[in-house]
Amino acid sequence: MVIRQYAVIGLGRFGTSIARRLHEAGQEVLGIDVNEERVEAAELYVTHAVVADTTEEKAISSIGIRNFDCVIVAIGNDMQASILTVMLLKDLGVKKIIAKALDKRHGQVLDKIGTDLIIYPERDMGERVANQLLSPNMLNY
Ligand code: ATP
């Protein structure tokens, strides 16, 4: 298995489940959050965890973020922080950026600034559930 280096910014429910699953699968995961308690809690399920405000250039560049194979921006509610973070990651030359969008407008901005993959958690999950319901064996239990 190829081991890649991932950074997950924002350790809410969404970021946590991504970080935890990647780590369980043997990948290297750095968890980052501005909230110290969330970083402490993450130490159990990531390779490393750091407290940082990723809207601050100094903080984000000192982490050496450009060496990661993929960075996941799991900040949702604070749209400004999410957009600023992605802009800084782009400026620093991060290869692959995945970001969570709160709504269509947020997603459009993330797309304009060069986010590689935009996730709409509720919409995407709703589609997944519908697809599962439509699969032929789903209701034959
Ligand atoms: P979820 O819906 O995934 O549970 P949430 O409801 O906790 O998330 P969000 O606003 O999406 O809320 O924030 C996700 C995480 O991002 C939080 O833990 C928050 O502390 C973190 N976060 C917000 N702004 C920044 C920032 N500038 N730098 C680093 N982390 C941040």
Lowest pLDDT segment from 9-18, 50-59, 130-139: 130-139
User: Do strands 28-33 and 117-119 pair parallel, antiparallel, or not at all (unpaired)?
Assistant: unpaired
For the entire predicted model, the pTM comes to 0.93
Interval 79-97: pLDDT, tens? 999 999 999 999 999 999 9
The ipTM of this complex is 0.94
Q: For ligand 1, what atom is nearest to the CA of residue 84? A: 27
Q: Going by CA atoms, what residue is nearest to atom 16 of ligand 1? A: 10
* Contact criterion met (CB below 8 Å) for 118 and 72: no
Q: What are phi and psi of 52, to 5 degrees?
A: -160, 145
The ligand 1 site (C-beta within 6 Å) comprises: 9-15, 32-35, 38, 53-55, 74-78, 81
- Chain centre to alpha carbon of residue 32: 10
Ligand 1 centroid to 74 CA: how many Å? Answer: 7
